[in-house]
Structure 1
Amino acid sequence: METRIMMNRFLKGFGGLFIFMFAVTSAGFADDAQVMTMVKDLEKKMNDMQKTIDWQNQKLKTLEQSKGSYVPAAPEGGAAAEGYSTKNFETDLKEKLGDYGWINGMKFGGDLRLRYEGRMERPSSTSNDQNRFRYRLRYGFTKTFNEEMKLGFRMVSAPGESASLTRNSTNATFDNQFAFKDIAIDTAYATYTPTWANYGPVKGVAVTAGKFENPIGGSFMVWDGDIMPEGIYETAAFKAISTDHLNTDVTFLASQFVVEEGSGSENDDAELFAWQVGLDSKITGVTDDPVSVKNTLTWYDWSDLAEPGNFGGVAGGNFTAAGTGGTRLATAFNVLQLYNEIGFKVDPVPATKLWFEWLTNTAENADDSLGGGQDNAWGIGIKLGKAKDPKTWEVGYGYYWLEANSTPGVFTDSDFGGTDRRGSVLSAKYAFTKYLQLVAAAFWTNRITAETLTADEARNLYQLDLIWKF
């Protein structure tokens, strides 16, 4: 009976979200009516101008063939468009939009995700099951000044409700008596791509500074997908092998991220210095489609992260200990990460990707009572299909084992539950259109050190998303 009530609530609530979304979308279109009218007017003039150009080309071609005995009739709208040059168009555009030069090179976009999330605890747990409806909204732009300089900016919904320090979630929960939701800065960065540095086999040289999407990659064992690092990073690549059946690029990444800044003592600052080398290969002639292989080796030097105050007070599964000035993490972190994946397609099996990841904390030195020896993590998984074009799908499965002190838990995936957890993740995605996707995911996890605990050992988390891209 309880399950049936829960399901009815879910169906009613999710149906309400559908109605709400379509209502908001309709209102948005109405507000933009004036802009759309202007754009359609300009579009009509451009179409008329193109018709005239096509007519003139046909006229010249006919005159050449028949020595002027026949002239095609002007197309409908051609009389109005005749003489409407590019200069006329630019003049009209400037009158309507002013100095529109700033638009050149700009690209706007974002997405809206509506989510149902159910967290189911084991019967012996002291926590109750929880059902939540949530949303994530992102909107921003990139501006390309020239082939060497670009900047980007994006806003995102934030949890709010005294969660100003949240770093690994952009979900806002429907709660708190219809209170207004927060908006935060998600990214704000500039990228310099010096063309003069791309010489011979060297390519992809770039420097990015600010707050940006994570460039390091891998699975979510080290990084939650919502983490946007702050600082600077540099990339480069060069062609190592180029044959008829094998092309391999060697990639390099160096990053200098600011984690925490303070002025009390020399240990009040925390930084991350990360270095990565990788191989990106394409193999042809083995299957109908090229086989892609990716291998990366990454070294993370988390400087002073374990000191009191530097890890944000969120252990995320890491063991803690009493230290001078307050609670600190039980160990330092110097993490070595190895990631491998291979992608291929062999009919009739859909596109397939296999991956394996392993990492170890070489600086782990905690006492046995504080997770000593809990310094390794690994994961393995598969993905079938690719939900990109309309009516396409994909499914994925991964198994993960993250020991307590293997990596900083504050930055790992929040849905999986941080470190000191093991379990399975099953996901599926279907693309209705290019802008609408349905996504489902299930997390079945347990605590690795469960034998030392009396509650909250296991957890099942279920998510159902609708994602609109625009």
Structure 2
Amino acid sequence: MKPFRILPIAALMATSMSAMADSTIDIVNTLVTKGVLTEEEGRLLTKGREGEKASQDQALEKATKSGGKITISDVIDNATFYGDIRARYEFRNGEDSANNSEDRERGRYKLVLGLKTTAGDFYSDIALSMGANGRSDNATFGNGTNGANSKENVYVKRAMLGWKVTDWLKVEAGRVANPLYTTSMVWDGDLTFEGLVEKIEYKWGNVNLFGNFAQSQYLGDRQDFNISTNDRDSNGILAFQGGAKFDITDTVSAKAAVTFTKFTNDHAAGASVFIPGLGTNVGKGASLGTTLTATNDIRTIEIPAEIVFKLADGMKLTAFGDYVYNLDGDDRFKAAVNAATATSAITGAAIRDAGNDDKAWLLGLGLAMKQDKQPKKGDWSAKLWYQDVGIYALDPNTVDSDFMDSRVNMKGIVFKGEYLLRDNVVLNFAAGHATRKNDKLAAAASASDIALNIDSYNLYQMDITYKF
């Protein structure tokens, strides 16, 4: 983002006054040289002007160092406003195994407004956006009754306080942007973490090592009573990531990481159990399962990686991928079978016969042309990838809300492309097609836009984004 800048009036005034002081001193020195004034008389006349000039030069230097950024207070080194406005057209289509279909067409818009500050070793990031749902900052056109033209609420998207402890360690607290190197298959790009984050960056020879660690409050706070059984268990996320970025040759570089993630309410007393629905469920509002938000038995190893090839004329070719294995996937599967059997022996048997699928993977290619380090008019990029998500592999509450409609037990292909009409104006196009992976089970989702147990899904998006 380019910072929003103004030209401080103080800098103009300091420049003008400094020039006047210089002129006075020059005149006095000329009179001394011609013998009109003695040196002692000249020093007396210029003494006040020299002190005034020094003060004015300090003011000019301070204004210049600020780079024209808006200053909030004397204790803040700099403050930068940023944000974007986006307008989007979107079409979604879903069809179930009984040929029931749903088309959803809508216009949408998004606003994000943020402020970043630094003060010595401390820094902050505050961002406001629309959309009460964590996986979406969008609002839909006409979202109200006829004639109401309902206004949208604005929410706190981020409220982060950071501390640069050393050159290689940063600590952040509050509502923080997702610190993990990952993909949208696992974490929707709009999601934030709430809690504490530690970031490590260390250069070791030609290798840039990095580590990202998160302790996030996922749901609720914990309450313990010594005189009551109404205790409440919270749910947290613990994530530990280590990785490296390095050059293989002058034109080839690579990046990879290993991430361990655990949800802390596993098997807590009273904790709900994820139970997928059956693939035979059809029609509008068909059941996708029971307690689909449950995060029991999720303890994953994720390995994201990419390799970048620098081509001629600012072109780059990227091969990227992601692999996830739920270490407790078998326990998640067995818990679903047992819980379903307790209600219906037939449903329990069907879930057992469908088998365990606790892995997810993604492979893709990207091609981009970038003229400079900063975005410039004419830059463009395109990505194409395929992903395959098992029903017990991931938390259905965090997967991307667009592809594949916030669901697990889905596989399919996605294309995304963008072109810069101006340095700060981006035209985007995205398309995707997916199908249900295991036909015996539902395409489970904790929230979805299509009200069917989809067997086939299509999504098309076109939008324009103005950044400031």
**TM-score normalised by L of structure 2:** 0.71
- Equivalence for 1:352: 317
Which of 292, 300, 309 is the aligned partner of 2:253?
292
Distance 1:225 1:316 in 2: 27
Which of 368, 371, 382 is the aligned partner of 2:365?
382
- Equivalence for 2:198: 234
- Equivalence for 2:210: 251
Which of 100, 103, 119 is the aligned partner of 1:145?
119
Q: List alignment gaps of at least 5 residues for structure 2.
A: 31-51, 65-69, 224-228, 280-286, 338-349, 443-451
With over 3 angstroms needed to count, the CA separation of the structure-2 counterparts of 1:179 and 1:185, relative to structure 1, is same
Greater Rg, structure 1 or structure 2? 2
Trace 1:35-114 onto structure 2 (pairs within 5 A): 39=7, 45=13, 85-86=56-57, 100-101=73-74, 104-114=77-87
Shift of 1:329: 3.6
Q: Secondary structure at the match of 2:422?
A: coil
Letter in 1 for 2:118: T
Distance 1:447 1:435 in 2: 38
CA RMSD, aligned part only?
4.1
Distance 2:22 2:355 in 1: 76
Q: List alignment gaps of at least 5 residues for structure 1.
A: 1-34, 64-81, 159-163, 199-203
Deviates more, 1:371-380 or 1:210-219: 371-380
Trace 1:111-190 onto structure 2 (pairs within 5 A): 111-122=84-95, 125-146=99-120, 148-158=121-131, 164=132, 166-174=133-141, 175-176=143-144, 177-190=148-161
Shift of 1:294: 0.6
Distance 1:99 1:206 in 2: 23
CA contact (8 A) 2:11 2:60 kept: no
* Structure 2 residue 455 is the aligned partner of structure 1 residue 468: no
Distance 1:173 1:310 in 2: 34
Distance 1:311 1:110 in 2: 39
Distance 2:17 2:277 in 1: 62
CA contact (8 A) 2:306 2:320 kept: yes
How many residue pairs get aligned? The number is 385
- Residues 46-104 of structure 1: per-residue CA shift (max 9 Å, x gap): 77679999999xx9xxx9xxxxxxxxxxxxxxxxxx979346769999xxx99852664
Distance 2:94 2:85 in 1: 29
Letter in 2 for 1:181: E
Shift of 1:238: 2.9
- Residues 207-266 of structure 1: per-residue CA shift (max 9 Å, x gap): 1111011001211111000001101011223333x2xxxx11222222111111253766
* Structure 2 residue 403 is the aligned partner of structure 1 residue 403: no
With over 3 angstroms needed to count, the CA separation of the structure-2 counterparts of 1:439 and 1:327, relative to structure 1, is closer
Shift of 1:189: 1.0
Letter in 2 for 1:442: A
Distance 1:299 1:129 in 2: 38
Structure with greater helix percent: 1
Trace 1:298-377 onto structure 2 (pairs within 5 A): 298-304=259-265, 329=294, 331-347=296-312, 350-364=315-329, 365=331, 366=333, 367=337, 369=351, 372-377=355-360
Shift of 1:167: 1.6
Q: Secondary structure at the match of 2:367?
A: strand
- Equivalence for 2:178: 214
With over 3 angstroms needed to count, the CA separation of the structure-2 counterparts of 1:449 and 1:41, relative to structure 1, is same
**TM-score normalised by L of structure 1:** 0.71
Q: Comparing both chains, which one has the higher relative contact order based on Cα–Cα distances under 8 Å and sequence gaps of 6 or more?
A: 2
Shift of 1:190: 0.8
Q: Secondary structure at the match of 2:417?
A: strand
Trace 1:406-421 onto structure 2 (pairs within 5 A): 406-416=393-403, 417=405, 418-421=407-410
Shift of 1:303: 1.4
Q: Secondary structure at the match of 1:129?
A: strand
Shift of 1:399: 0.4
Shift of 1:457: 1.0
With over 3 angstroms needed to count, the CA separation of the structure-2 counterparts of 1:328 and 1:221, relative to structure 1, is closer
